[in-house]
């Protein structure tokens, strides 16, 4: 081995191709880990306080399973995935279509949550201050909803750009990262849904 060949400042071109993961994906993965930890704490609090409220109402008295919203949110994972596929194939029309579908489905979910909260607050008299159940329920579901809102804002921005023809296949990696976030939001809902509406009821 000649001394020149181990020069630390040798131009990189001389080497075999050197590939590393895309930083957006890694960054998003990190964010997801951190966010998961936050959700876990809220979920633990929810489970820990199940049945510990000193006053009513209890979950089984007031909660109704949000089937429509859940179906919409879960299928939005599929649509966003399709959008990524289409973008990869550079089919921008189809991409915009599926992206719009995702935004609509997400919005329906959000509306169904809003409607459920309205019912709970004004009809069932359950608020954040009512009891431990109210405290943990609103904070957990609210935390998730706030993530949906953030995701929706980003998706809508992308949609807007797409409608103005500003998105093309070169943005694939970025959009892929965004879709990762959206899948995460969906995945969290599966857990929250199971804990709140199935186990906790």
Partner 1 sequence: MPFENFDLTRDYLTHPREKTPVSTIPAVKGVDETQATQHARLPAGVIHEWLTTVDHKKIGIMYIVYALIFLVIGGIEATLMRIQLAVPNNHFVSPQVYNRLFTMHGTTMIFFVAMPIMFGFGNYMVPIMIGARDMAFPRLNAFSFWVSAFAGVLLYFSYLGGSGLYAAGSAPDVGWFAYAPLTAKVFSPGHSTDYWTLSILLSGVGSIGTALNIVTTTLCMRCPGMKLSRMPLLVWIYLVMGGLVFVTISPLTAAQIMLTLDRYLGAHFFDTQAGGSAVLWMHFFWIFGHPEVYVLILPAFAFMNEIVPVFSRKAIFGYPAMVAASVCIGFISLSVWAHHMFTVGLGAAGNTFFVFATMVISVPTGIKIFNWLATIWGGRVVFATPMLFAAGFLFQFLIAGLTGIILAVAPFDWQLHNTYFVVAHFHYVIVGGILFALFASFYYWYPKMTGRMMSEKLGKWHFVLFIIGFHLTFDFMHIPGLLGMPRQIYTYEADRGWGTWNLIASIGVIFQIAGVLCFVYNLVSSYYRGKVAGPDPWDAWTLEWSTSSPPPEYNFAVLPTVRSRRPLWDLKHPEDPDSDYEI
Question: Which residue, 7 or 198, has its beta carbon nearer to partner 1?
Answer: 7
CB of 24 to partner 1, least distance (A): 9
**DSSP state string for 55-111:** SS--HHHH----HHHHHHHHHHHHHHHHHHHHHHTT-HHHHHHHHHHHHHHHHHHHH
Q: Cβ–Cβ contacts within 10 Å for residue 166, how many? A: 10
Nearest in space to 197 (alpha carbons), one of 49, 107, 26, 70: 70
Taken in order 80, 81, 84, 85, the sign of the CA dihedral is: negative
Task: Give the per-residue contact string, 20-59, with partner 1 (x = CB under 8 A; - = no).
Answer: xxxx--xx--xx-xxxxxx-xxx--x--xx--xxx-----
Structure tokens at 107: 């919005």
What's the distance, Cα to Cα, between the start and end of the chain in Å? 70
Question: Which residue, 162 or 196, has its beta carbon nearer to partner 1?
Answer: 196
CB of 29 to partner 1, least distance (A): 9
CB of 173 to partner 1, least distance (A): 12
Verify binding: residue 12, partner 1, rule CB under 8 A: yes
Backbone φ and ψ for 12, nearest 5 degrees, come out as -70, -20
Q: Given the rule CB under 8 A, which of 73-81, 90-98, 129-137, 192-200 is the region that contacts partner 1? A: 129-137
Question: Which of 75, 107, 139, 156 contacts partner 1 by CB under 8 A?
Answer: 139
Kindly list the residues in this chain that would bind partner 1 in the complex (CB under 8 A): 1-3, 5-12, 14-15, 18, 20-23, 26-27, 30-31, 33-38, 40-42, 45, 48-49, 52-54, 128-129, 131-132, 135-136, 139, 143
């Amino acid at each position: 081995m000649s001394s020149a060949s181990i020069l630390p400042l040798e131009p990189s071109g001389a080497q075999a191709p050197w590939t590393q993961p895309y930083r957006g994906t890694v960054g998003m993965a990190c964010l997801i880990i951190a966010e998961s930890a936050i959700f876990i704490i809220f979920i633990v609090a929810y489970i820990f306080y199940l049945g510990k409220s000193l006053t009513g109402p209890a979950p089984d008295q007031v909660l109704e399973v949000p089937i429509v919203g859940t179906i919409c949110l879960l299928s939005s994972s599929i649509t966003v995935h399709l959008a990524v596929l289409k973008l990869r194939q550079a089919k921008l029309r189809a991409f915009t279509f599926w992206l719009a579908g995702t935004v609509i489905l997400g919005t329906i979910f959000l509306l169904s949550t809003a409607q459920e909260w309205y019912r709970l607050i004004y009809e069932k008299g359950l608020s954040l201050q009512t009891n431990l159940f109210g405290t943990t329920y609103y904070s957990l579901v609210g935390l998730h909803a706030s993530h949906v809102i953030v995701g929706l804002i980003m998706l809508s921005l992308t949609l807007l750009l797409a409608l103005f023809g500003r998105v093309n296949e070169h943005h694939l990696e970025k959009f892929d990262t965004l879709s990762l976030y959206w899948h995460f939001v969906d995945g969290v809902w599966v857990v929250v849904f199971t804990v709140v509406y199935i186990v906790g009821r």
